[in-house]
Every structure is written in C-alpha cells, then in structure tokens.
Structure 1
Amino acid sequence: MTETANARSPTRLSAVTLDEGSIGHASPDIEHERATAIWDLVADNSFQPVGDPGTGPYALHISLMESRLVLDIKRESGDQVVQHHLSLTPFRKVVKDYFLVCESYYNAIRSASPSQIEAIDMGRRGLHNEGSTLLQERLEGKVELDFDTARRLFTLICALHWKG
C-alpha cells in the first residue's frame, strides 16, 4: 500500500477513538459499523484545530458528557491541543430523522423495489449532508475541516447513538 499525500500531511487525524463509557456495549454489527466509520475517517481527512501552528497529525477522542459532544484533540505524542464541548441540541432532529430514514432504508432493502430503495437512500444521504453541514457550522472558528471529513465525523457522532 502506498502512502498518500494526506497520510503525510500535518493537518489530519491519525487516530480516532470513541469513549467506551459514552457508547456502551453494542451488537457485533454496530461495532463493525463504528470501526468502519473510524477507519474511513482516519484513512482520508483534512483536520486542523484553529490557531494551532500545524504540528499535527492529531488524535481525536470523541465522547458524550452531560448532553454535550466532547472532541478532545491531542497530538500523536499525547500532548493536549484543545478540547471542544458542543451542545447536542442542534443535532437532535437531524440525527433522529437520519436514524428513521436509515431504518426505512434497511427495511426496504429486504422487500422494496430498486427505485424505492434509491429514493430512500437519496433522503438518507440528504440528511447525512445536512448533519455534516451543521457540524461544519458548529466547528467554525474551532476546527477547519473539509466537507468529506465533516461527513465522516458526523457518521461517528451518529455512532455514539447507535443501539445494539
């Protein structure tokens, strides 16, 4: 496997972890989805804490604390960079709608026509994009990240809410 330019960039995440106390135990399928989401995020991202001189790459630990999303950003060495606490309130509706559409999508896969599945999937992707844009807005002035990184990070925010 060849190393990409992103893998050498200091403005990226090199590790992402989810707080075990925040997510609790889940089914093997959900654990697999979480691991895949983390792998996708680490494999391709653009992530730079605002005001940091660019001495990454960074390690990100995601947790929930008192109805707040906590993004704990450190250097690979473990040195603290910054910790951001974001209210989950702005995310509640889009996450709830996203889960409802995802449930419809997984149910449709079993019995719906391809055109029905495609229509539901378009709605699912639209909600995912909405959540990603909201995340970028909430991180404005705190962390610079591109849209694809925001999408992958929104997936992990949803992962904190997945039930087994």
Structure 2
Amino acid sequence: MGANRLVAVHIDEETLGASGPDAEHERRVAIFDLIEENTFGVIGEDRGPYVLALSQHERRLVFAIRTEPGEEVHTFILSLSPFRGVIRDYFTICDSYYEAIRMSTPHQIEAIDMARRGIHNEGSELLKERLEGKIDIDFHTARRLFTLICALHAGQGRAPGA
C-alpha cells in the first residue's frame, strides 16, 4: 500500500453525531469502504499514510489531517454550501430508489439507479474540484468520500450544512 492514502477516519461525535443506529451503520460502511481503497495525498506533503478527522464548525466541514503516528499535517475547512443542492438531489433520488424497489419493475429501478449514480458522480466531481490544490484524490476516492459526507448528513437529519 502506498503512502498517499488514508489509514483511518475519525468522526467528531460532538459536532457530527449520528442520529441513530441506521445512521451510525451507514457511517461505518462508508468509512470502511473509504479506508479499504483510496488515494489521498496532501499537496506539498510527503508524510503519508494519513489519518483524517472530520468535524463541523460553523456549518463547514473541517478536515484535520495527521500522519499515522499523530503529527499534525494540515487542517482546512470545506464550505458545504456548494454541495447543498446535489446532496438534496441525492437524498431525493435515493428515496425514489428505495420506493421503487418495493413497487416498480426492474427496468424502472435500473433507470432510477442510473440517475442516482449520475447525481453521486456529480457530487464526487464537485468534491474533487473543491479539494483541488489541497488534497490529491482520484475519482473513486472522491466517490467514497462523498458517500461519507452524505452519510454524515443523513445522520444529522439530512440537513446539509446544518
């Protein structure tokens, strides 16, 4: 495994606490998937692998990055405002998808799932753009990190930036 990767992700329960067991499960799965396979480099640094601690401050997502032994590397704040629309759309299409699973034909489910993946890709690209110049991630890592951001918001009653 390369040095430019995440080996752990920690969530600040005080500012990003889960609202229940389902939300906590979604977070754990998202973190597992992210840790399992990722490319994560801090621009201008070569001290990986890294540990990422996520918290929220004044409706912004705080990325506190450390080395595996615990040395501080960089902390930056990501405004969630640009993500509000895509996160809202993603939750809406996910609700439609879960409803379709119960009542629709396989063809209809597939069409909704394609739309869901498209919105997820849009959010992932936006995240990659917003991290440009700070964090070097590939598209697959951006997808996994966007999934985690959505899981964090789902755990807080689906209020992006709240």
Deviation at 1:131, TM superposition (A): 0.4
1:145 aligns with 2:147: no
* Aligned position for 1:101: 93
Distance 2:64 2:87 in 1: 21
Runs of 4+ in structure 1 displaced over 3 angstroms?
Answer: none
Q: What amino acid maps onto 2:28 in structure 1?
A: A
Distance 2:52 2:130 in 1: 17
1:91 aligns with 2:83: yes
Moved more, 125-134 or 26-35: 26-35
Distance 2:19 2:101 in 1: 22
TM-score (normalised: structure 1): 0.91
1:117-149, Cα deviation, whole Å (9 max, x unpaired):
111111110010000000010000000000000
Unaligned 5+ residue runs, structure 1?
Answer: 1-7
* Aligned position for 2:59: 67
Deviation at 1:86, TM superposition (A): 1.1
1:120 aligns with 2:112: yes
The answer (yes or no) to whether the contact 1:22–1:160 under 8 Å persists in 2 is: no
Percent identity (aligned): 58
The answer (yes or no) to whether the contact 2:41–2:135 under 8 Å persists in 1 is: yes
Q: What amino acid maps onto 1:135 in structure 2?
A: L
1:57 aligns with 2:49: yes
* Aligned position for 2:71: 79
- Count residues in correspondence: 156
The answer (yes or no) to whether the contact 1:37–1:156 under 8 Å persists in 2 is: yes
Structure 1 residue matching 2:24: 3-state secondary structure? helix
Structure 2 residue matching 1:123: 3-state secondary structure? helix
TM-score (normalised: structure 2): 0.92
* Aligned position for 1:42: 35
Unaligned 5+ residue runs, structure 2?
Answer: 158-162
Deviation at 1:25, TM superposition (A): 3.4
Deviation at 1:23, TM superposition (A): 2.5
Moved more, 25-34 or 140-149: 25-34
How well do the aligned residues superpose, as a CA RMSD in angstroms?
Answer: 1.1
Deviation at 1:36, TM superposition (A): 0.7
Structure 1 residue matching 2:153: 3-state secondary structure? coil
Q: What amino acid maps onto 1:77 in structure 2?
A: P
